[in-house]
Amino acid sequence: MWSGTWLDREGIAQRARQRLAALLRFARAHVPLYQRLHRGLPPASSLSLADLPVLHKSQLMADLPASLAASGLSRAAVDAFLSDPARIGAPLADHYAVWTSSGSTGVPGIFVHDGDALAVYDALELLRFRGLLDALPGAGPFLASERYAMVAAIEGHFAGIASVERLRRTFPLLAPWVRAFSVLQPLPDLVERLNSYRPTLLAAYPTVAELLADEQQAGRLRLSLEEMWCGGESLSATTRAQVAKVFGCRVREAYGASEFLSIAWPCRHDRLHVNADWVLLEGVDAHGRPVPPGVPSHTTLLTNLANRTQPLIRYDLGDSITVLPGQCPCGCAMPAIEVQGRCDDVLSVAGPHGAAVKLMPLALATVLEDDALVNDFQLLQTGQRRLVLRLGRAERARADAACAALRAYLQRLDLPWVGIAFDPAPPHREPASGKLRRVVNAVRAAATA
């Protein structure tokens, strides 16, 4: 991996080709799903990626065991594991990591990774994202004086929290310096806990980082950060600049998924480089045709070259990316991308004593996904005391449960006067981009219009 980081374009492509051919041979020999999908196709050595069928989440989830190489794992064992919060970050059957994706596009996905894949993700994280190479030879202070905090949805087997918990289990001595904080707790509690923990590295969604920057600026939060890591949503230039200014620290973008933990890392020019020797990304348009550099894709097909247990080959990730044209000034030949992630709004509702209370979109989405099991939703703020919920057709039967889950959450935050109304209209997509924003501050939109 160390040598791979500085290969030229042809060298990277060659490594990827070799790994892809080996993966294809393996998947066709051992994974029923690919035996079915690739039936009748020519041998792996004479195929390019674009000749292969696209894999959708619905196909993967329709028969999970068929997507696994003979591992002896049953659907029942996986489901039992996922339903137990005490096992977040623990291995399944001593060997496997199982992560779920939040279901922003329909049903949640389940992804099983083997020990070899985890070793690749860990090495990518350490050598490229954390820049262990850059720090050498004076790598002494690396890790030694850092306190890491992640603020996230921690009540499920998501890749982020599961990786934090795996680190704590694997290296118990490190555990006091690695902690996760729930995004569902009231903001004052979160601020208090972060103040007493005093992290030096903090990972959060951009909208969470933005709220924490407000708290820091108001003097309630008092952190001395070396770096803020942002991922999971679009990181706008404004948010990046504001967070960097308020905390006086470097803001680094991260791009990973439950399908592949560390897809890209930011170089010293803050460009996201894809780990293209281990994960292949194809940006395609709505008809599945490749889009040229500089053009945002409709979706992205991911091929994971590190994981044999559940091979993902041309898997429809649902993200929109833009491959940046030209060479990055840092000299790395791995392709640089921009990710057009979720663009949700922070909501600002009436709090006690007239003060505004901000609601994080990640927390609202987590409540709806985990407590009410709805994924295809749109939540709009239409007034200081009023939220409106829309649900996709397939999930409309759960409207009462979804409204009840939101009311219970607002009750926990001491905001009983914020009303929830159900709007039978389906979620509205942005007319220009077709993108679904799930949490929308319609009050702010009306004010700026």
Residue with smaller CB distance to Zn ion, 229 or 409: 229
**Rounded CA separation 407/400 (Å):** 10
The residue assigned the tokens 């118990």 is: 172
Q: How far is the CB of 131 from Zn ion (least distance, A)?
A: 12
CA dihedral 19, 277, 54, 317 (to 10 degrees): 140
| Nearest partner of 295 among 270, 316, 322, 319, judged by Cα | 322
**283 CA to centre of own chain:** 18
Phi, psi of 217 (to 5 degrees): -65, -35
**Selection from 430, 374, 297 nearest residue 104 by Cα:** 374
- Minimum CB–partner distance for residue 7 and Zn ion (Å): 14
Using the minimum distance from each CB to Zn ion, give the nearer residue, 153 or 281.
281
- Residues lying near Zn ion in the complex (CB under 5 A): 267, 269, 271, 328, 330, 332
Report, in Å, the least distance between residue 336 CB and Zn ion.
6
Q: Quick one: 75 or 269, whose CB is closer to Zn ion?
A: 269
Closer of 64 and 267 to Zn ion (Cβ): 267
Helices 237-247 and 206-217, packing angle to 10 deg:
40
CB of 192 or CB of 270, closer to Zn ion: 270
Supply the minimum distance, in Å, between the C-beta of residue 328 and Zn ion. Answer: 3
Give min distance, CB of 334 to Zn ion, in A: 8
Q: Name which of 44 and 330 has its Cβ closer to Zn ion.
A: 330
Q: How far is the CB of 267 from Zn ion (least distance, A)?
A: 3
